[in-house]
Chain A
Amino acid sequence: MAYPYVSDREVRILSRNFGDPLARRIETYVERGGYSALKKAFEMGPDAVTEEVKASGLRGRGGAGFPTGVKWSFMPKEPTKPHYLLCNADESEPGTFKDRELLRWDPHGVIEGVLIAAFAIRAKQAYIYCRGEFFETTQILAKALEDAYSAGWAGKDIQGSGIDIDVTIHVGGGAYICGEETGLMNSLEGRRGQPRVKPPFPAAVGAFGMPSTVNNVETLASVPHIVNHGGAWYREHGTEKSPGTKLFCVSGHVNKPGNYELPLGFPLMDLINDVCGGVRDGHALKAVIPGGSSVPILTAEECEGCTLDYEGVQAAGSMLGCASVIVMDETTDIVKQVRRMVQFYAHESCGQCTPCREGTGWMTQILRRIEEGRGTEEDLDTLLDMSRQMTGTTICVLSDSAAAPVVSSIHKFKDEYLALVRRGERVGAA
């Protein structure tokens, strides 16, 4: 029973249940040792759990890569107000499709992680913010959660420990920006999902004005394994600064796209050529976006020698983000794809900050003009100038994310832009 895409170079920890429908059932999950980490966590106590996660070096899998244990330790130790744990399952970054797979193949693994994290930050209520489009996935999760309640693994007095943790599924409304942690909190509170100014940080003033922690699905799914086997075990995979395994979502022009769980620090070219069966139809590689649409594009040359860990990708001139590797072969029209990405950001801008609200729209128009052969060379300077004004000037980083592919593509694929501009000029002159 194999998941459609497997490779013998994978280290299947999080993805061990992918393709196994029995794992959704609570009986099977418990039989295979599920929820033992939760029991162990209750025995260890919240601070010891946080220390263990700190020791594992687990970094947030939602894109920023902030150490999870450190994030948890920001929460007040003596709760005077209710605490909330928020699980970010609003997966919408173009190129990313790992959380959906985790939720539908291993819902109990995620629920167990949520419960342990809630226990560690002393929260009695956790919310799983599920993306609205995930109807099927949310149904599977809801059924699993219902089973967990019936079996006494969630709710009041979990397994006679005297600990109460309620878990609620909140369904989103289809807004990318709600994947930003403060936007998510606003959305949960029944507001428009517009990000908030930080500080105050969520650990001080979060959801409903109370101390809160937001963690990604994949981060939380890693927690039970760390609690079970210890932080030192987790460090056996990955690199010194980026320990552990990570789900890599490979899409675009490869022969075998899919989710692959690999140790961090895996060579990018091995991922494309070996694990994913190479670029489709024997075409040559042109460019790779290594971390979802919000990060700079890498050229084929830059991909050589690039390793997939937070530091390695940064050294190559991009960011690991949520490890969504989008592969483009030589037939790709870079300008069109950049325009499509910026159009996405224009659609998803929440409209709070002027540089983002206006900038993303203008950029889309200019890029479309260039694409249709009506652009000028000055347009490229205008785009770069706008990118400067859109970076670091807004509440959240959506605007920076829109600018990143534009700037990197103009610098690295200027010939393509110029060819379109000049072709347009020739047509105009004739």
Chain B
Amino acid sequence: MAFLVLVPLLPLLTAFIVMTGDRAEQDQNARAGLLPIVASFLGALLTLVLVTTGGPVTIQLYDPAAVANLAFPIGFYIDRLSAVMMVLITGVTTLIYRYSMGYMYQDRGYRRYLGMLGLTTSVLLCMVSSANLVMLFIFWQILSWLLFLLAHNHGHGATLSGAANTFTMLRLSDAAFLAGIVLAYSLYGTFEFQTLFTRATETPITLFIWPELGWEMNGVTAVTLLIFGGAMGKSAQFPIHTWLPRSLYAPTPIHALLHAGIINAGGFLLNRLAPLYGLSPSTLHLVFVIGMLTAMLGATMMLTQNDIKKTLGFSTIGQMGYMIMECGLGAFSLAVFHLIAHGLFKGTVFLNCGNVIHKARQEPSFPHLDREAEESEFSSLTWSTGFFTTLLLPLVILLVTHGVLRIPLLESQGTVIFLFFIWVTSSQAILSLTRIRAVASWKVSAAMLVTLIIVVFTYLFAVESFTHFLYPNAEEVASYFKAAALPGRLFDSLVVGTTLLTVLSWVYLYAHAHGRTITIPGWIEAFLVRLYVVCMNRLYLDQLYLKLGRLVTHVAHRLEKRLS
């Protein structure tokens, strides 16, 4: 099984091939560099097959008992989660590399870019197949640095400042991650994943944060909170998400890689440490809150941006929030499923986005102004299909699950969460479909029904199968849901709130489509306008951080003045 080590090493060969040799031969080298990447992808597929049939593979190049070798504990632990991530990363890289060969052709940084792409892929693969926390952290940090370099465009001021911001933000989360590792080792004496999980389960530890005041915290909670700080940075969670929109001046293929691969690191980390997170309900609740905030803010800010890349950037932030929220709800496998689907989708969108921008620059034109046509073409068939499918769906699902399958919904938050994801996702898709005007309404209605079937099928069968694939032990999955269970009233109010929001969306859509005026109090309208401005300016967080930085330097200057 030692040959599996080649999978993360092959992209390094690509970097070597591309970076060396004469500049005149760079196209030839770039073509040659594609081969190791493809080989790595095939190797990842083979790994997935081997791991699925034969169980996890462990390759340790160090003695876990010897503290003397702590400096670089290189080892590989490849289970189904790692293998899935490896397939995703190598697959996306293969496509991006091939695309970049044309897109970056004759660019000054062509060789550097392709070389860095190979290096980043290798680092990502090493990270997802790490055998222990320290190795994972080492590659996690290297990834922060590579991201800084990839986001660079040497001569462009805004890009430079964005790259520096990216690195600082990522280092902030890296510091939290490092503190988490140190605390974990201090409490449990190991950084090997399986041993850590076993010891954390068997040895409950209480940390006295402030004994005089009686402040204490569970050891696992403290460790998981700090490590979650690390995940927050890489996955652009509120309030340290600001680096992602600011790094959007980088080459378009970099964004495809960033949004399809690198940014998923946070979700991967939470999944890798799922047994540890499963021991700490408090952390899971915080993860849920942060994820929910990020999802809401990301989606809201996305709607107010006037730049296609920033729009996509905030869309990713929203999706990452969604993914982290899933982890916070104990649906770890759902987060991985989401991560893969989003990665593939966003990769495609970004690769297309480059062409769109180029085309827009070559053939500038005004945006379409067909608002009036939209108003007159309102179709009651489209609207009623959407309305009924969206509102009838919960009833059907409740009937099936509660009546036919006899699942006790009141006692199973996990199942309700899955059902809600089905409902919210399909509602969103169907709401979007109502905006289609150019085709006959029966076609749109049919599309709605097909969408509904696809979403229901995806959640009920694909996600369920994927969950079973990733976490074959059903009790383990149930224990995560149990740990993440929210207090009854809070959960109920969340359910009622989401339901109301979805229904109100339909009511608003109906009224809006019929040209009816919805009376809104003046103060709410004023508030909405202000909210729009705040969201358009990305909550002024960039400015806030800038002011914070200036405050620190101001204090330092005053200190220096006093001393001299």
On whether the two chains bind one another, the answer is no
